[in-house]
Amino acid sequence: EPEVTQTPSHQVTQMGQEVILRCVPISNHLYFYWYRQILGQKVEFLVSFYNNEISEKSEIFDDQFSVERPDGSNFTLKIRSTKLEDSAMYFCASRGGQARGTEAFFGQGTRLTVV
Partner 1 sequence: LAKTTQPISMDSYEGQEVNITCSHNNIATNDYITWYQQFPSQGPRFIIQGYKTKVTNEVASLFIPADRKSSTLSLPRVSLSDTAVYYCLVGDLDSGGYQKVTFGTGTKLQVIP
Nearest to 82, CA basis, from 27, 6, 11, 13: 13
* Of 49, 96, 98, 56, residue with least CA distance to 75: 49
Among 25, 79, 109, 114, binds partner 1 (CB under 8 A): 109
- Burial letters for 21-39: b for 16+ Cβ neighbours within 10 Å, e otherwise? bbbbbbeebebbbbbbeee
Residue 98 engages partner 1 in binding (rule: CB under 8 A) = yes
Among 21, 25, 33, 112, binds partner 1 (CB under 8 A): 33
7 is a contact residue toward partner 1 (CB under 8 A): no
Least distance to partner 1, CB of residue 99, Å = 8
Q: What type of residue is 76?
A: T
Q: Does 105 bind partner 1 (CB under 8 A)?
A: yes
Q: By the criterion CB under 8 A, which residues form the site for partner 1?
A: 4, 31, 33, 42-45, 48, 55-56, 58, 89, 91, 93, 95, 98-109, 111
